[in-house]
Structure 1
Amino acid sequence: MRRYVLTGTPGAGKTSILRRLGGLGHEVVEEAATSVIAQAQARGEEQPWTQASFIDEIVALQRQRQLAATGPVQVFDRSPVCTHALATYSGWPVSPALTAELERITSERIYERQVLFVRNLGFCEPTAARRISFQESLAFEKIHEESYRAFGYELIDVSAGELAHRVAAVHSAISGPTP
């Protein structure tokens, strides 16, 4: 089983790439933070990312989704290393749950050591779950890079550009050249 992480700054186009990869037959696993935010906002919490439990909720959902994935090649929109980057960016302590999950994914070699790093597109469009300026997203992108390198991952750049070219680059990296 090969598990790849697709990461990068908010608004870089990861979800669009992930959807196309799903259409090519790859098992894709959606980002947990967006789901945690959407569920909380549906309950009336306007800014769930300000809650102390936010990081641990993301960690729990990431683990649940990772354990549920069964395909021979899986592509994850973010990983616990991204959650580490989020905690760092937000100035929150790394919780015991996040520490335990980082230790698990490291010791069990859950994810491939090559991480597909989707580069920013030169802008960041706000959404209900993404309330970050482009300048802030660039700082967040740098923290993501630092976090992945600190945990021993190799970053494979997915350059800004046309969606089809980005999808082809990721598809090639995870399964060989496009037929």
Structure 2
Amino acid sequence: MKTKRIVISGGPGSGKTTLISHLESEGHTCMHEVSRAVIHEAQKQGIDQLFLTNPILFSQKLLEGRLQQFLDASKYNELPFIFYDRGMPDVTAYMDFIDSHYPENFSETCSINKYDIIFLLPPWEEIYTQDNERYESFEQAEKIYHFLLKGYQSYGYNVIEVPVGTVEDRIAYIHKQLKQLL
């Protein structure tokens, strides 16, 4: 049995990390978002917002981290699926959002290393908050959502939108979709 790779993505503040934490508490294997670690490392070096200062370097570090997570999933062949807090196509979608060119290998990496299922969380103003790592406004989060949707679709994915609701309702929706798809 091949482990299915399942991405939970969405704009900033849409509830991704909360869902990943809940899935993990249910016993699922989850790969956590790498951007906060990249941001903290840059801040230790005196760079407040690496994405704003050097978007290519920031994105390269994210892509490398997410690719490593993708490759690490081969250690979990006995599992039916593994969840990711964001996927590699998030990198190119964010670069498109800021209208920045990026190396061709970014798109190649996304095209070669394919996930099985993509769940996308829509913007949800009621739960949106900004913090030290989340500097985007809610309006920007809405735009990012559309870039994520378009980005994943451009790599040939059928994106499944997870409706807003309680964590339990969202998890139930994901489980129901997985049963139907797998």
- TM-score, with length taken from structure 1: 0.88
1:143 aligns with 2:144: no
1:160 aligns with 2:159: no
1:119 aligns with 2:128: no
Gaps of at least 5 residues in structure 2 are none
Report the residue type matching 1:120 in the other structure: P
Deviation, 1:126, is: 0.7
Identical-residue share of aligned pairs (%): 23
SS where residue 100 of structure 2 aligns? coil
Number of residue pairs the alignment of both structures matches: 171
More deviation, 69-78/92-101: 92-101
| Contact residue 12 and residue 118 of structure 1 kept, 8 A | yes
More deviation, 19-28/65-74: 65-74
Corresponding residue number in structure 2 for 1:95? 103
- TM-score, with length taken from structure 2: 0.87
Q: Deviations over 1:31-82 (max 9, x none)?
A: 1222211221133211111213111111111111221223321111111111
Corresponding residue number in structure 2 for 1:85? 93
Corresponding residue number in structure 2 for 1:30? 32
Structure 1 vs Structure 2 CA RMSD: 1.6
Gaps of at least 5 residues in structure 1 are none
| Contact residue 93 and residue 151 of structure 2 kept, 8 A | yes
SS where residue 121 of structure 1 aligns? coil
